Amino acid sequence: MVKTYGYVRVSSYDQNEDRQLTALQGIVTPGKNIFIDKQSGKDFDRPQYKRMVRKLKKDDLLYIKSIDRLGRNYAEIQEQWRLLTKEKGIDIVVLDMPLLDTRRGKDLMGTFLSDIVLQVLSFAAENERINIHQRQAEGIAAAKARGVQFGRPQIKLPDHFGQIVQAWERKEITVHEAILQCGVSESTFYRRLRRYRQEQKST
């Protein structure tokens, strides 16, 4: 018996999968036949995707919202499409692109046209991913040029940090007292201590 499945992927846990689920509504039975992964599409180490592939049988039907749900790497999308349609023998319907419906055009010309569309869309998906990363890198570089700081803010040590260190080294105070006077964690104290000593050697 032919079964119908749906696959949904969002890039992270803070993204919402509702748009994709809405597109599958009325087509695929919710629950056991819809598989959802919440992680990056840069690779295929996705538990729900793998679980779905194991369940797929010849002539089953898989719906996805768009081609980049399979991934954003040109070669990987091509490979997964080949695995699903050739090795597993299933049909795929890409809802955003009606031409990518393997149930139609099973003849040579139909397959040829479908393959061309797949290659174009796979390339476009990867190219968009590259452009997004480039825009992010350019935005970060521009922000740094404006003085925007990234990462955790630098913990400020007391102005008399050197005197605290010297008192500790002379055993006038314990390391615990030195850390308390600096108002930092033990790991931060030792990290900044190493930097302080390096600066002292270079002067």
Please state the rounded mean pLDDT for residues 27-36: 82
Residue 40: the pLDDT is 58
Residue 97: the pLDDT is 82
At 35, the pLDDT band (50, 70, 90 cuts) reads: very high
pTM of the model: 0.57
- Residue, of 177 and 15, whose pLDDT is higher: 177
- Nearest 5 degrees, angle CA 147-CA 151-CA 156? 80
At 2, the pLDDT band (50, 70, 90 cuts) reads: confident
Res 4 pLDDT > 70:
yes
Annotated active-site residue in 11, 122, 185, 202: 11
Residue 42: the pLDDT is 55
- pLDDT tens track for 64-89: 998 888 876 777 888 888 888 888 98
Res 154 pLDDT > 70:
no
- pLDDT tens track for 89-106: 889 998 988 878 888 766
- Residue, of 58 and 39, whose pLDDT is higher: 58
Told to judge if 11 belongs to the known catalytic residues of this protein, a careful annotator would answer yes
Res 24 pLDDT > 60:
yes
